[in-house]
Each structure stands twice: as C-alpha cells, then as structure tokens.
Structure 1
Amino acid sequence: MFQGFESLQAATGPRQLGTGVTLLVHHPQPRPPRDGCLRVMTYNILLGGERRALLQHYFEQLEASGRMPDVIALQEASQPTAMELARDFGFHVAYQGRDIHGPVVNGKAILSRHPIEEAVHFTYDFPADARAAAVARQGFVGELDEDRGALFALIDVHGRPVALYNVHHTLGDSGVNAGQLWQLQALVHAREGVPSIALGDFNANINVKQHYSLLPSPLRKHEPTETIRDYESRYGDVHPSVGDWGVGNIGDVRVRRALHALEHELHDPLRRARELRVRMPDGSHMKPDEARELLVAGKYPKDSAQWMRLQDVADMSTLNSLPNGNGIVPSTGKRFDTFFATKELEPLLLEVDHSTDASDHLPSIADFKLRDTRH
C-alpha cells in the first residue's frame, strides 16, 4: 500500500502493466464522492489507454460537468495511465497487471473516491492442460497466455462496505469464458451478505438470454435483442466486433447457463433500473424505447447507418466499432460491458455514453442506492 503516488516505481515491460502484484495507492487529497447514490463506471480503455489525449479529455468533461463517477473500473489499463487518471482526478486506486511476452491486455484498475479498505487480485484457475486445449482450438496463443481474474476491492461507502469485482473475461474461447463466469460467481458467493458489484468487460453479449423465443422472429422484429435468433435476424454473421464474430461467445449454451447462475446471485440493472438511457455524441439523451419507436416507424432502411445507430441505442450496446472504408461504423448490437449487483444495491440509472471515441468500447455508468437492510 502506498500513501501518495511519488514513491511508486515506474512499470516496466512492453505494455507497462506491472509484475502481477496488486498495488493500492491512497490519494493524499481525494475529491469528495457524491451523496445520495453511488455512481459507478466500467470502461475498457483499449490497449492501455492508447488514445490517451481523448481519454484525458473525456475525464476532464466528466469532471467539469459534475458527472464524474465515484468509482471507475478500467480494463486494458496500463499502470501509468491508471495512476495518472487517479492522481489528476482525485481517486484512490487499486491496480493489477502483469507484463508477459506478446500483446497482453490484462491490466485492470479500480479508481474510487470512497476509501479503499482492501484490494487483491483473484486469479482464475486455468490448468495447463485446459490452456493447451484452448490454444489448440483457437489455433494461436493470443490472450489465452494471460492469467485472467477479478480485481477485488472493498470500499467504504459512507460507513458501509461495498465489494467490487472488476473483470475482463476471455474473448477467444467460449468454454474458457463460461468457466470464468462460474469462478466469479463463487468469489461473490464467498462474501455473501456484503453488498457487491461485479463489473467490467464480460466479452459476451449479455443481452442474449436464450436461443429462441416461442414468438416467431418476424413478430419480435422490434423487441429487445434477447435471443440468438433475434440477433441473427438483425445483424447476421457479417459484422465483426472486436474479434467476436456473429453472435459470439453467448452462442455457447455453457456461457448462457453460467450467466443465468450468476444472475441468481446478482441482478442486471438493464432489467431493474428506474431509468435507461444513452448519452448521444451531442450530449443529449435517448432512451431505448424512443429508439425502438423510431425503428418501428420504418423511417430508416435496415442496415443503413441511421438504422444501425438506433439499433445500438435500443440494445444499449457498448461496442464502438471503428469506421469502415466508407466511414460507416458497423453496428455490433452487443453489450459486453456492464454491472451485476446484489439486492442491497438498488439500480436507479443505467447509461451508455456515446459522447467519447477514446476506445473501441463505450463507457457504461450506473447509479445505485444502497438499501438499508440492517434492521
């Protein structure tokens, strides 16, 4: 644990992720958190914060507008980027990452204006034979060489403990992804009774809950994208999204079963929040139902740029694909980045922020009210 940022040694390695040791740094002058609710953000910031100037500008906008979250979970974070953001914007920070050979992206950080009482990284079990089998299935090593897990932090929210689990799950193998979900559930269950939030990049489209609905796809034309058939009828298999082709990992029944089990422990704010909205590039807001009404009106042809953007809003999608050669951003319709919370945390708001291009993912923000269950 460090008091202040000056005594930290610079991270070494090609991506400056660190040595695998969990760092906890207390800011000497943290900025005050808000009263009334706990605002939390999860954001995959792309290869250690590759678009550093845009990322810094986005944080400046959040601070200037009074929208800065109390807690921020970062994925694909380098140690220097996480520490600079924490130092400049008044956050305590927990960080864990480990440089190995190759283009690793395992750095995770939790920035908090509430005191961080404890921080540790729980590395998921990934036996050598299972890793070798996954590499053989994928055909190359890639991210499977990394030790993924959950960065845990226990924070003090106005005198009450809240547990945070920041995750960045495997994209390249759905079986590995499913196993990580089961291990996350076990971690949360081990602290039963403590208000908890699991958040991060799950690398699976968690909107999709089942393979199909009894209602035929044509009759579900403008319903939320909740089944594999819904997704395929809207997007097909031609839209890549950060390597997750077609419906992606969620197409594996093992991933859906693991998600269902996780949701017995934790709730998805998309289903329970009082307000759902998307912040548009111009700063205005659009609700998913408003986007769905425009789609129903049929003003924009399917697969047009306008249609794809509306469908993204309707599905609260969190992937911000890069423009193609014609300058059009293909819609992915996938929600990889989100929160799961225990019953002690009432979700008031879930927002996806389209006002920044600092990453290939979009920030997701949630407001929670900590229920008083002590009576």
Structure 2
Amino acid sequence: MSTKAYGAYAADKPLEPIAIERRPVGAHDVAIAIAYCGVCHSDLHQVRGEWNGTLYPCVPGHEIVGHVTAVGDQVSKFSVGDVVGVGCMVDSCQSCASCDEGLEQYCEKGFIGTYNGATNDAPGHTMGGYAQAIVVKDDFVLKVSHAPEQLAAVAPLLCAGITTWSPLRHWNVGPGKTVGIVGIGGLGHMGVKLAHALGAHVVAFTTSEAKRQDALDLGADAVVVSRNADEMAAYADKFDFILNTVAASHDLDAFTALLKRDGTMTLVGVPEHGHPAPNVAALIFRRRAIAGSLIGGIAETQEMLDFCAEKGITAEIEMIAAQDIDAAYARMQKSDVKYRFVIDNATLTD
C-alpha cells in the first residue's frame, strides 16, 4: 500500500514529501489511518544522523494516534473505527524474560523501533508516523479512550507520557512522597502532570526563572531555579524520588544531594556527552541511588493512557503542518516550544 509520508534521504537533507510502502494487513496486523503524530527530540537526532546507524530514507515519528481502517483475521482486540495509538515499539522477540514480564522495552534481543528498526518489509527498516497510515502488529497497538477533541494532545503521551510514567510507577510515587522533576520540557512537563495526579508533593526544577509560573500551572507544588544555590540548599535531604529528564550533560551531584536516605534519582535523558562522574561518597553514606529508565512496556503504556483519560490529562502542544517540520526542529533545538509539537497528518495531502 503506497502511503504519503514526510522524511529525509540523508542527514544533511531537509525533510520532504516521499511515498512509502506499507505491508498488506496480515493475520495479526492492524492498519491505522494516522490523524496526529507527536514530534520527539529523538526524531531530530535520528533523521539528522546524530545517532549512529540511521537508515535512509528515514521517516520519523513514534507518538501516533489514529483510527483503525482494517484488521487481520486473527485480531480480536480491535475493530475498524477504533481510536488507537502506537508508541516507540512495533515488535519484540516476545519470548525472553523481559517480554514475558510485559517489559518489551528491555527485550533481550532488542525491540523493533517504530522507525529505523530492522524489518522484512521494504526497504528493510521501519518507517514511522510522519505518514498517512501505518500497519502494526496487534500486540503493539494501544486503545485510546480520550475525547475526540483531545486526540492531538494525546499523541505525545505515547513517548513523553510513558517515559515519565514508567519510572514514577516503578519507584512507587504517590501520596506521602516528595518528588522532584528536573527539566520542564516535553518530558518534564508530563512528569509534573503525572506525579501531581498520582498524589505526590511535586517540586519542579528549572534553569529558567521564566518557567516558574508555567511549572506551577502544570501542577507543581513548588519550583526551584537550579542555578540558585540558596533555593537548592533549602531542599537538601528532602526528596524520596527525583525524575531527571534533562538530556544534556550536567552535574548530577547537585541533585543527588537533595535525596533522602534511600532516595533514588532516575535518568531518562541520554546526553550527547557523558555526565561528570558522581560523588560516590554522597551515594554510599546515604544509601542513595542513581538509576535509569527506558520508555515503558505495552501493558504499562495502556495503564498510563487509561489513567490519563480518567484524569483528563494530555500534553501541552503546538500543532504544525507536516511542511513545517524543519522549522519545528530548528525551534526545538532552541527549546522554543511549549511543550510538544504535533503534526496534523491531514496536511500530508497538501
């Protein structure tokens, strides 16, 4: 099936309209007409060749919301017309210990990404959501129950939402816990919303005084400008958990010092250059931990979507046409978006 898409033929080429092929619907497949696709910073890194191994042509996009147009004869969970989502994964081995536990993101053979992943379909690698349609194995399709007018703002939940939800749930964030969210961007703004909805006392950390009111409006109980030494010192030994969403190299010690005994800081951003080595004594003498977390499994992604629908939670977005993607990338590099761009995929027909 030929599908209109937006992608790049090389790292130094702009994104442009291209025609791609989607496979026929197999017995366990779901065909989806894509309504909206969020724009993740990973899209920019991959298509620009900033991460090793980009396969061209590259069609990014792993925050997908759309409507089912066809299902395979062995599919029972979805019907034509259903509103569904697709996140960062479209397959995994489904036989290793991690997959058996519903943690496909840690598949021991490597999960298949929604784009740039190995596949038998032409041209040999997966193509993502900057397209009119996609065909995905039913086990990797998610039900969306938000109201129709919220669907564009649901799209970023498929990456930014689950990337923050998974560690918040794993480290048991909830009532009685004091939780820090470092960085108020695409990921961090969702972290604030979700931690607040889970009942925690939420403190947002930002380098920008200009984001103080924004963070409060998102649901933070307090805001710390991390460049202010006095504000930071006031929170020493106060946090049960810190979710650090910053993808740039920075001093982790400034935040581990804020953890209580047995507190954990979890990193979800991969910096281009490594963080300075942490002060090990600060960890040992307070039994603190620095951990990492990768997106989330299919079951917990569904849990997150259902929770967000119940609580009325969506991302804060700016809608763009597919033709504006390069301009959006340029703005993303300057952090000039509050807080996620979302493509209106109907513009692919323009």
TM-score by length of 2: 0.26
